[in-house]
Amino acid sequence: MQSSSRERQPRRGVAALAAAATGLIAGLALAQATPGPAPAAGPVQVQANAPSSHTVVKGDTLWGISGKFLKTPWRWPEVWRLNKDQIKNPHWIYPGQVILFDPNAPGGPRLYLQQPGDVGPGSVVRLSPQIRAEARAEQAIPTIRPEDIEPFMLRNRVIGAETFDDAPQVVKSVGERVAFSQSDAIYAVGVKPAMGKVFQIFRKGRELRDPAIAPRPWYRWHHANPDPQIIGYEASYLGDARLLREGEVARLEIVSSKQEVQIGDYLIPAPPVETMAWVPHAPEVKVEGFVMTLPNGVSEAGKTNVVTLNLGKRHGLEVGHVLAVYKSAETFANPRYKEHPMNWVPGWPKISGSEPVTLQIPEERIALVFVFTVFDGVSYGMVMNSGVDNVRAGYPVRNP
């Protein structure tokens, strides 16, 4: 009996150690996900040839207009003197309106909408943009071109892990078939009235693991707990379905199909089509992450290409945020290096050459990314200002 008691003691110690380690890891993960203060921004940089005014025309975007005046388009809210509500509800610029620019305004450069009677910066009465009551919200100019992001807004190729947690699933077809297509009726569980009547059908694919979180293989056996490193999934868009009858087992009709639908596929409520008109702005908290994937299946992403970031709502990210992409530092052999001949003599003291053995290209900022879709731990961004170097998976991103 004493022997068995001694055998149990180390097990309790191991259990305590494991619990402590788990708590430490959880603490580190929490610290990693907790946003800090954003880096201080310098003065707003104005374009050398910035015009004194711009008449808004159909086809304009907020990003394009801001680029006419500013070298740093994400500083637009500062030049407009916008508050948070105005940044998130910017349906206030419409075709036909005139934007005036005063580079010498008190407190720094300023943009404003021309009001009746305004003839220049000296006649300004109100310096904040006003909503035209007669204009409809859908007529407001967008931040970026809708056609560039529509496939990703309506048919996401990467979906946040939390989206699949409560998503309805196909469990049976009308009949005994195992694959279904357009006009077929299917049964699904998990459909709730609040989800609406129109769904997109997806098949969960490869899991996406956050490179900033250390792998935790033991979660493979913790079936009740999700692996925190998995922040999203690549998903195949299969088609669209329409709800025919609600209930514990709901009936739907497949109204369009790109691929065959099977039992186990997921139904995700179709997102509303909204005007992408959030003002581009820098995050208010410190943000650091990585370009995780290039959903288009390419090895490099250039201007207007869409990338996936390992950042989301829990990191303080929101729609409209602008992040800078950096090319990692590169170390390579110095072709000018020549080893001294005496270094080959055994026992002879080593003599350093005049040239270093290796050289390093420092980290460089190569692009900006505009965030347009945000999940809990993953988001979509469009590459905006890119130079000679394109964006690759694994490149770091942070505050601009």
Mean pLDDT of the chain: 77
Greater model confidence, 19 or 354: 354
- pLDDT number for residue 40: 59
- Please, are residues 257 and 181 in contact by the beta-carbon 8 Å criterion? yes
The helix (H) or strand (E) run that includes residue 148 is: helix 146-154
What are 245's two structure tokens?
Answer: 């009858």
Average pLDDT rounded to a whole number, residues 17-28: 39
Tens-digit pLDDT profile for residues 111-146: 888 876 555 544 443 434 444 444 445 577 777 777
- Secondary structure (H, E, C), 221-289: HCCCCCCCCEEEEEEEEEEEEEEEECCCEEEEEEEEECCCEECCCEEEECCCCCCCCCCCECCCEECEE
pLDDT in tens, 141-165: 777 777 677 666 656 678 888 888 8
pLDDT digits (tens, 9 = 90+) for 352-373: 766 788 888 888 889 999 998 8
**What is the predicted pLDDT for the residue at 159?**
84
Number of H helices, E strands in the chain: 6, 22
Q: How far apart are CA 129 and CA 111, in angstroms?
A: 9
Backbone φ/ψ region at 81: left (φ over 0), alpha (ψ -120 to 50), beta: left
3-class DSSP assignment, residue 313: helix
Rounding to the nearest 10 degrees, give the CA dihedral for residues 314, 315, 316, 322: -130
The torsion angles phi and psi of 24, rounded to 5 degrees, stand at -65, -45
Domains and CATH numbers, the chain: 53-139 (no CATH), 150-269 (no CATH), 285-398 (2.40.10.410)
Q: How many Å separate Cα 228 from the centre of its chain?
A: 18
Instruction: State which of 1-10, 238-247, 279-288 shows the largest mean pLDDT.
Output: 238-247
Round to whole Å and give the CA distance between 317 and 373: 10
pTM: 0.68
Cβ 205 vs Cβ 233: under 8 Å: yes
